[in-house]
Amino acid sequence: QSALTQPASVSGSPGQSITISCTGISSDVEGFVYVSWYQHQPGKAPKLILYNVANRPSGVSNRFSGSKSGNTASLSISGLQAEDEADYYCNSYSSYNSVGVFGTGTRVTVL
Amino acid sequence: QVQLVQSGAEVKKPGASVRVSCETSGFPFTGYFMHWVRQAPGQGLEWLGWINPNTGDTNYAQKFQGRVTMSRDTSITTVFMEVNWLRSDDTALYYCARDLNGNSHFDYWGQGTLVTVSS
């Protein structure tokens, strides 16, 4: 299963909003697809920031939001802050064949 | 609190095997699927597979079938991942991760285990 496609990098100024796309998610015809997003900062383990496309775990800022349309999922970050600088990865899991795959990753830079 | 504590760094020669452990605590061991994810130097995250600690059932990414084996020991609430026939491109930081709800949403992660494959 090929990796999902994400833009290599996205940047924005503090306070701005950015959106990261994740393309290549199998259609629902092949079974439920579960999408999650992770923030990965250097020297730390990845952190779950969204699951089931748009749900935030406890403690995650509401500046992070998610959506999905067709074969593309998106992560939006509003009110960009310096602490948001990180690599972001989407993950798709198909209940059809119980297989998961990560996106290629997006480096977010706060200018 | 939930904790996932992985074994220490390993250095192996090509063709050898490595076994990484992930000791869990703070939650019902048999109640959550556990996954393994790796990150090679300068590369992105890569999903390897999962194990159901309750039944021992496993499922692996196609790329790793036949070369990766996941197992568990319920008496010590620990999951294991073994990679056989190591190659240089298996050099990576390997993570175990707990599945929040059985849908491959990883809410807790181990600290990572660096496996270096070098002759």
| Whether B50 and A104 lie within 8 Å, measured CB to CB | no
Give the mean pLDDT of A38-47.
Answer: 96
Mean pLDDT of all residues in A99-108: 92
pLDDT tens figures, B72-110: 999 999 999 999 999 999 999 999 999 998 888 999 999
Whether the pLDDT of residue A51 is over 90: the answer is yes
Q: Rounded distance, CA B85 to CA A61, Å?
A: 43
Q: Please report the beta strands in A1-63, taking only residues with DSSP state E, as ranges in sequence order.
A: 9-12, 18-23, 33-40, 47-50
| Dihedral-angle region of residue A63 (phi above 0 means left; psi in -120 to 50 means alpha; beta otherwise) | alpha
* Residue of chain A nearest B98, judged by CA positions: A48
Residue with tokens 């259609």: A27
Tell how strand A9-12 and strand A64-69 pair up. Answer: unpaired
CA distance A21 to chain B (A): 16
Q: What is the pLDDT of residue A79?
A: 97
Point out the least confidently predicted range of A33-42, A88-97, B48-57, B77-86.
Answer: A88-97
**3-class SS at A96?**
coil
Cα separation of A103 and A101, whole Å? 7
